[in-house]
């Protein structure tokens, strides 16, 4: 027997050819037989006949393309109608301005101007292209990640392992004590109220916001990466672009294309240090003017996830003004915000300044286009909790739309452990301890570089450092051979070729140093052995 969903699909398929030839017949089946089933599928009230009819007509007129993208008609209708009612358009086909969250559901369903059918590109198709792109990226090492060697020491993933014992003492009791009362669905629409309150308190205490952060400014999500791609999905249409100052990891491009159907547009500078100066602004203007797609946002990571430095306030303010002038969103990924540490090699370090601390009103910038992303994975080393959040202080429609995403669901153990961590009276001590241990690990690894005359780029934030392990490397093959040799000796690093916009010579790698001392020492010993360095 056909399932109800398949029954609906088959009847719509049978009806579609006649209605495709004669649009006037669209309303008859809707009024006679489909109104109750349609409303049941979408959750729309039967009393809203005009709105339902408009949605029905658009659905049927686009049915060939819906079917091509996904055979489950009922799911597409439900996804479209329910999320459109919240001001979020996430269907499997492309329209004009379909995801602008300031447009009403009625306007989108009744008056939407669709792209020509033969030119329509679905987000599903874009996502499939993104998957193919990911499979073609040598630096992604998908096979290696699927079959890891337990004996390897992974220095390619920026994990923070320096607080694990202390975190276990806080998070385990917190999760266990309240888990029995959190087996049902979360109480809050945008996240558990206690979690949102703890996050707001954290931001007010450590991020120095110009406008105090309130719980209703925040949407929790399943990790910072999920939060980022969900935000881009909501503010962009398929094949729109976002500006990303280089260099950046090519995995970001894969995520943008696969999960958000968005293109990353590299902002190239003469020197990598230019991204921390006002020289960045004309390069962003140039990148936007020369882009082959519509640009909808600027994405900054502050502190920078590759070069471990913070953006100065004047550069952040200039970026805000640029976004205001070009009418695009400013997205600040601040997942490394609390990883700054003392570094003797940087005499005048730039302190971390959150985009939340900037006075958007004084800068005459629209705060509704300013978004900040943060999570516990890097600052506290709890990547496995998959807990991130988006802060958008003056865009209630964005908050509602983001909260409707499946990626906004956070597991109860993650909620409880994160809430316990952020509300712990020892939190200030943990922040200071994290900074001190990062400084110790940095001294350990840079002493190794200095002893072996290895060039590196000093950092005072983040979990990684760039070093040129093979100074005589001339080609990509030379770099790959070095990475392979290290892998064969039990150490995994990420080559400089895995990053878009790098201006380095060959032979550079990114190394994570936020490991326990004995593991980092062992990893350095293996590098010494693999590359035949003098001990």
Q: Are 323 and 258 in contact (CB under 8 A)?
A: no
- Confidence (pLDDT) at 28: 46
Q: Is the pLDDT of residue 467 over 90?
A: yes
Which residues lie below 8 Å from residue 415, measured CB to CB, with a gap of 6+? 182, 186, 191, 192, 194, 195, 220, 387
**Rg of the chain (C-alpha set):** 25
Q: Where are the domains of the chain?
A: 4-123
Burial class (CB within 10 angstroms; exposed 0-12, middle 13-18, buried 19+) of 324: middle
Buried b or exposed e, range 92-123, using 16+ CB within 10 angstroms = bbbbeebbebebebeebbeebeeeeeeebebb
d(CA 226, CA 217): 18
Three-state DSSP at 299 gives strand
Tell me how crowded residue 488 is: count the other CB atoms within 10 A of its CB: 9
- Confidence (pLDDT) at 70: 39
Percent of the chain with pLDDT over 90: 42
Q: Is the pLDDT of residue 72 over 70?
A: no
- Confidence (pLDDT) at 414: 86
- Confidence (pLDDT) at 46: 55
- Confidence (pLDDT) at 98: 33
Kindly report, residue by residue over 117-133, the tens digit of the pLDDT.
333 345 455 555 555 55
Tell me how crowded residue 161 is: count the other CB atoms within 10 A of its CB: 15
* Stretch 342-355: mean pLDDT: 94
Distances (CA, A) of 151 to 154, 164, 216, 277: 9, 20, 45, 42
Q: Is the pLDDT of residue 523 over 70?
A: yes
- Confidence (pLDDT) at 22: 42
Kindly report, residue by residue over 270-295, the tens digit of the pLDDT.
888 899 999 999 999 999 999 999 99
- Confidence (pLDDT) at 73: 44
Distances (CA, A) of 183 to 172, 175, 180, 497: 16, 12, 6, 45
Confidence of residue 267 (pLDDT cuts 50, 70, 90): very high
d(CA 105, CA 397): 12
Of 298, 338, 343, the C-alpha closest to 458 is 343
| Mean predicted lDDT score pLDDT of the chain | 76
Q: What is the DSSP string of 98-135?
A: TT-TTS-HHHHHHH--BPPGGG---HHHHHHHHHHHHH
Highest mean pLDDT among 24-33, 59-68, 394-403: 394-403
Kindly report, residue by residue over 166-221, the tens digit of the pLDDT.
888 887 765 666 655 555 555 555 567 889 999 999 999 999 999 999 999 999 88
Q: Is the pLDDT of residue 411 over 50?
A: yes
Q: Is the pLDDT of residue 235 over 80?
A: yes
Burial class (CB within 10 angstroms; exposed 0-12, middle 13-18, buried 19+) of 129: middle
- Dihedral Cα 285, 286, 289, 295, nearest 10 deg: -60
Among 105-119, 235-249, 319-333, the least confident range: 105-119
Kindly report, residue by residue over 475-488, the tens digit of the pLDDT.
888 888 999 999 99
Q: Is the pLDDT of residue 20 over 70?
A: no
| More confident of the two residues 414 and 401 | 414
Distances (CA, A) of 488 to 37, 481, 508: 60, 10, 18
Q: Is the pLDDT of residue 317 over 80?
A: yes
Which residues lie below 8 Å from residue 78, measured CB to CB, with a gap of 6+? 41, 42, 43
| More confident of the two residues 445 and 11 | 445
Confidence of residue 522 (pLDDT cuts 50, 70, 90): very high
Q: Is the pLDDT of residue 236 over 70?
A: yes
Among 29-43, 98-112, 363-377, 427-441, the least confident range: 98-112
Q: Is the pLDDT of residue 7 over 60?
A: no
Among 259-263, 387-391, 508-512, 519-523, the least confident range: 259-263
- Confidence (pLDDT) at 338: 95
* Stretch 463-476: mean pLDDT: 90
Residue with tokens 């881009």: 232
| More confident of the two residues 253 and 453 | 453
Full-model pTM: 0.72
- Confidence (pLDDT) at 74: 42
Q: Is the pLDDT of residue 155 over 60?
A: yes
Structure tokens that stand for 31 in this block: 């009024």
Q: Are 69 and 94 in contact (CB under 8 A)?
A: no
| More confident of the two residues 464 and 182 | 464
Buried b or exposed e, range 19-49, using 16+ CB within 10 angstroms = beeeeeebeebbeeebbebbbebbebeeeee
């Amino acid at each position: 027997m056909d399932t109800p969903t398949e029954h609906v699909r088959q009847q719509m398929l049978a009806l579609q050819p006649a209605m495709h030839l004669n649009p006037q017949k669209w309303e008859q089946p809707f009024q006679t037989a489909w109104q109750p089933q349609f409303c049941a599928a979408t959750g729309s009230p039967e009393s809203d006949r005009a709105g339902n009819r408009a949605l029905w007509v658009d659905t049927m007129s686009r049915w060939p393309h819906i079917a091509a993208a996904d055979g489950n008609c009922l799911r597409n209708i439900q996804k479209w109608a329910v999320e459109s009612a919240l001001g979020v358009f996430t269907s499997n086909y492309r329209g004009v301005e379909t995801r602008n969250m300031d447009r009403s559901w009625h306007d989108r369903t009744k008056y939407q101007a669709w792209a020509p059918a033969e030119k329509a590109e679905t987000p599903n198709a874009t996502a499939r292209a993104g998957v193919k792109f990911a499979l073609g990226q040598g630096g992604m090492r998908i096979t290696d990640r699927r079959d890891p060697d337990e004996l390897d020491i992974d220095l390619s993933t920026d994990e923070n392992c320096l607080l694990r014992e202390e975190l276990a003492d806080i998070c385990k009791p917190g999760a266990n004590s309240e888990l029995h009362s959190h087996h049902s669905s979360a109480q809050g629409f945008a996240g558990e109220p206690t979690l949102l309150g703890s996050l707001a308190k954290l931001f007010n205490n450590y991020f120095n916001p110009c406008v105090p952060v309130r719980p209703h400014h925040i949407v929790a999500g399943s990790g910072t990466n999920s939060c980022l791609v969900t935000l881009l999905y909501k503010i962009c249409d398929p094949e729109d672009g976002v500006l990303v100052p280089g260099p950046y990891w090519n995995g970001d491009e894969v995520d943008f294309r696969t999960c958000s159907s968005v293109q990353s547009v590299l902002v190239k500078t003469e020197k990598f240090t230019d991204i921390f100066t006002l020289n960045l602004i004309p390069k962003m203007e140039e990148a936007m003017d020369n882009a082959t797609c519509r640009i909808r946002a600027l994405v900054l990571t502050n502190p920078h996830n590759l070069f471990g430095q913070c953006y100065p306030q004047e550069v952040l303010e200039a970026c805000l003004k640029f976004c205001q002038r070009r009418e695009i969103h400013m997205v600040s990924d601040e997942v490394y915000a609390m990883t700054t540490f003392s570094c003797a090699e940087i005499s005048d370090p730039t302190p971390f300044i959150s985009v939340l601390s900037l006075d958007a009103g004084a800068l005459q910038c629209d705060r509704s286009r300013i978004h900040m992303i943060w999570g516990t994975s890097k600052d506290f080393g709890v990547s496995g909790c998959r807990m991130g959040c988006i802060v958008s202080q003056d865009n209630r429609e964005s908050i509602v739309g983001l909260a409707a995403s499946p990626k906004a669901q956070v597991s109860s153990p993650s909620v409880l452990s994160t809430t316990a961590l952020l509300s712990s009276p020892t939190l200030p001590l943990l922040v200071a301890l994290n900074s001190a241990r990062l400084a110790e690990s940095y001294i350990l690894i840079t002493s190794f570089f200095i002893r072996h005359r290895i060039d590196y780029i000093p950092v005072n934030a983040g979990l990684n450092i760039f070093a040129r392990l093979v100074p005589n490397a001339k080609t990509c093959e030379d770099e790959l051979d070095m990475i392979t040799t290290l892998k064969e000796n039990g150490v995994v690093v990420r080559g400089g070729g895995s990053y878009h916009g790098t201006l380095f010579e060959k032979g550079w790698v990114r190394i994570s140093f936020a490991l326990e001392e004995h593991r980092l020492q062992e990893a350095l010993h293996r590098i010494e052995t693999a590359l035949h360095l003098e001990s």
